[in-house]
């Protein structure tokens, strides 16, 4: 690099740092809900919103506006399950009885949801009952199918906020909550694994495994764990002697989400009364207990340091640089869709309707395999980019 180019690079870095600091100070003065990625930090869910639509993201973090919250059974069933996992870990003694600690914590959470969503109490009660009957079956199943490897829990349900330095010199805070971190194995083969609990309506094992090394949430959390290890604080929970090796992925199929086992209450007939609520949930419990392996799955997924570095190089670092540039622009009362006078770029847009993105739909194609491994199987050479024009 010539002296002239090196000087220009330093000037650009200093300019970006100056703009970023000004944006943070201005955000504080204006009393904005979010003070930016360097002050308040960024979570993977916020980053996902930024990726999908910058204008909708701005309305949330600058204007502080979002749709009125309503009960979402997919999200809240996952929350109920996390609560049970955390409570059971704290007090596993009476795991199989409904008067146990986890069941009481679950009941309190359901009551809290009923107060929050008074018009949806019937739905809340329904999914509370489903969780209450599924969790003991889950505990019983894994008690009989214990992982043979030595396993020590290092933490559960731990929030994090770790620094992540960008090439321009800016430092972004990565924030979130780890479900758990375990030390698995003994001796030379031992390693640190992130523990992640997921509830899903449909489980595609092959797709999950294919996408794992470039999954936004998983890799974001692993990068944060890696950064935690790098800081080497005296109070760090991570043992220095063991490398971070991957993720223990614990997946639970959410019942009544379509397909086999999605039963309904029997309606009254001329000869039989309507099925009672108690009998319905008892019947559902029997279906889950009959084929538990279709509802409860665990995979230990190895993730190499090269996988982490690739995620940082090909996604996390570039998008965080863009996020910081974007924040410096929108938080300074600039014309949102105008050109940045410093470099002529437009950094803000609104995503239109009518788009289709297989990634956003949770899907994958042979092109993703090509990006991961370089394989051209299932691909063909394009002879035209305008086939729809005839």
The answer to whether 237 and 119 have CB atoms below 8 angstroms apart is no
Looking at residue 181, its pLDDT comes to 94
> Could you give phi then psi for residue 151, rounded to 5 degrees?
-140, 125
Give 131's strand partners: none
Lowest mean pLDDT among 147-161, 196-210, 247-261, 335-349: 335-349
Digit-coded pLDDT (tens) for 332-351: 877 888 776 566 578 899 99
> Could you give phi then psi for residue 83, rounded to 5 degrees?
-65, -40
Looking at residue 200, its pLDDT comes to 93
Mean pLDDT of the chain, nearest integer: 87
- Residue 11 in this model has a pLDDT that exceeds 60: no
> Could you give phi then psi for residue 244, rounded to 5 degrees?
-80, 120
Looking at residue 7, its pLDDT comes to 55
> Virtual CA dihedral for 38, 40, 43, 46, nearest 10 degrees?
-100
Strands (E), the chain: 151-165, 171-184, 191-200, 244-253, 296-302
Helix, strand or coil, per DSSP, at residue 55: helix
Looking at residue 98, its pLDDT comes to 47
CB neighbours of residue 264 within 10 Å: 8
Looking at residue 150, its pLDDT comes to 86
- The strand order across the sheet containing 191-200 reads 151-165, 171-184, 191-200, 244-253, 296-302
Per-residue exposure over 234-243, b if at least 16 CB sit within 10 Å of its own CB, e if not: eeeebeeebe
Q: Inter-axis angle of helices 54-61 and 44-52, to 10 degrees?
A: 130
Digit-coded pLDDT (tens) for 39-91: 999 999 999 999 999 999 999 999 999 999 999 999 999 999 999 998 888 77
In the DSSP assignment, the letter for residue 189 is G
pLDDT band at 146 (very low <50, low <70, confident <90, very high): confident
Digit-coded pLDDT (tens) for 210-249: 788 899 999 999 999 999 887 766 667 777 778 999 999 9
The answer to whether 50 and 78 have CB atoms below 8 angstroms apart is no
Q: What is the pTM of this model?
A: 0.85
């Amino acid at each position: 690099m010539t002296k002239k180019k090196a000087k220009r690079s330093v000037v650009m870095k200093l300019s970006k740092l100056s703009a970023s600091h000004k944006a943070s100070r201005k955000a504080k003065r204006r009393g904005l809900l979010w003070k930016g990625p360097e002050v308040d930090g960024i979570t993977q869910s916020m980053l996902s919103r930024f990726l999908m639509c910058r204008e909708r993201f701005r309305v949330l973090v600058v204007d502080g506006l979002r749709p009125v919250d309503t009960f979402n059974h997919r999200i809240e069933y996952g929350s109920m399950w996390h609560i049970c996992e955390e409570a059971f870990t704290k007090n596993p003694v009476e795991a199989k009885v409904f008067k146990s600690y986890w069941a009481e914590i679950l009941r309190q959470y359901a009551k809290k949801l009923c107060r929050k969503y008074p018009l949806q109490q019937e739905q809340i009660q329904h999914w509370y009952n489903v969780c209450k009957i599924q969790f003991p079956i889950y505990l019983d199943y894994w008690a009989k199918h214990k992982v043979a490897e030595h396993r020590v829990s290092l933490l559960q349900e731990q929030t994090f906020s770790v620094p992540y330095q960008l090439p321009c010199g800016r430092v972004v805070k990565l924030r979130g909550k780890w479900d758990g971190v375990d030390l698995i194995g003994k001796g030379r083969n031992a390693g640190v694994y992130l523990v992640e609990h997921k509830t899903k309506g449909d489980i595609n094992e092959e797709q999950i495994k294919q996408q794992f090394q470039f999954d936004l949430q998983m890799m974001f959390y692993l990068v944060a764990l890696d950064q935690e290890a790098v800081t080497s604080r005296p109070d760090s929970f991570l043992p220095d002697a063991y490398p971070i090796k991957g993720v223990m992925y614990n997946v639970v199929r959410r019942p009544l989400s379509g397909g086999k086992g999605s039963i309904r209450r029997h309606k009254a007939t001329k000869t039989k009364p309507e099925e009672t609520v108690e009998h319905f949930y008892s019947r559902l419990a029997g279906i889950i207990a009959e084929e538990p392996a279709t509802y409860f799955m665990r995979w230990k997924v190895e993730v190499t340091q090269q996988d982490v570095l690739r995620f940082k190089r090909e996604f996390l670092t570039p998008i965080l640089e863009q996020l910081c540039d974007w924040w410096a622009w929108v938080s300074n009362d600039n014309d949102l869709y105008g050109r940045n006078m410093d470099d002529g770029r437009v950094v803000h847009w609104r995503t239109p309707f009518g788009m289709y993105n297989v990634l956003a739909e949770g899907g994958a194609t042979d092109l993703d395999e090509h990006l991961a491994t370089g394989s051209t199987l299932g691909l063909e050479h394009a002879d035209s980019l305008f086939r729809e024009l005839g």
